[in-house]
Amino acid sequence: MKSTKILLFAVVLILMSGCARPGPMQTPNGLLQTKQFEPIFLSTVKDGSEKVLFKEYTTMYENRELKYWGTFTITDQGAYFATWNTISFEYNLLFKLNKNEIATLGEDKIIRSMWIDSELLTIKDKNNHEVGFALNGKRAAYTTLNRLINN
């Protein structure tokens, strides 16, 4: 009888712990994989953007050094990088570049001796400030930005 109660308790405990994973509001990539991402992100950038064209959770580099983990996003108005605040439940913009301010797009590679190399999509503005993003969808992001700045 006692072993049955212990077994039942263990089964209930296992089942309940399976339901205890964090939701999107408590993870670093925030609402990225939800349908709420687009309206919330567009209200964060506040620059007339009407549509998200590309989004990916990634890393941002400045001067070839890793600076931040967050969400790289391309809208119909430009490119952005933001982090999700799991306490206030909002995006904090760390990089914002209007499509008219993009001077060049390029590629770079960060070579590491003890970790996987990072191939970057680089964006240089008209003031010669360059940032890079290690994107899995680098080709798609490059094409999307190229179309955006050439239209």
* Better-scored residue on pLDDT, 44 or 18: 44
Using one digit for the tens of pLDDT, what is the confidence trace for 100-147?
999 999 999 988 888 888 899 999 999 999 999 999 999 999 999 999
Calpha distance 92→73 (Å, rounded): 13
In the CATH scheme, what architecture does the domain 3-149 have?
Roll (2.30)
* Better-scored residue on pLDDT, 126 or 1: 126
CB contact set of 97 (below 8 Å; sequence gap of 6+): 78, 79, 80, 123, 125
- pTM exceeding 0.85: no
Contact 45, 75 (CB under 8 A): yes
Structure tokens at 2: 């006692």
User: What residues does each domain of the chain span?
Assistant: 3-149
pLDDT beyond 70 at 87 = yes
Average the pLDDT over 45-57 and give the result: 94
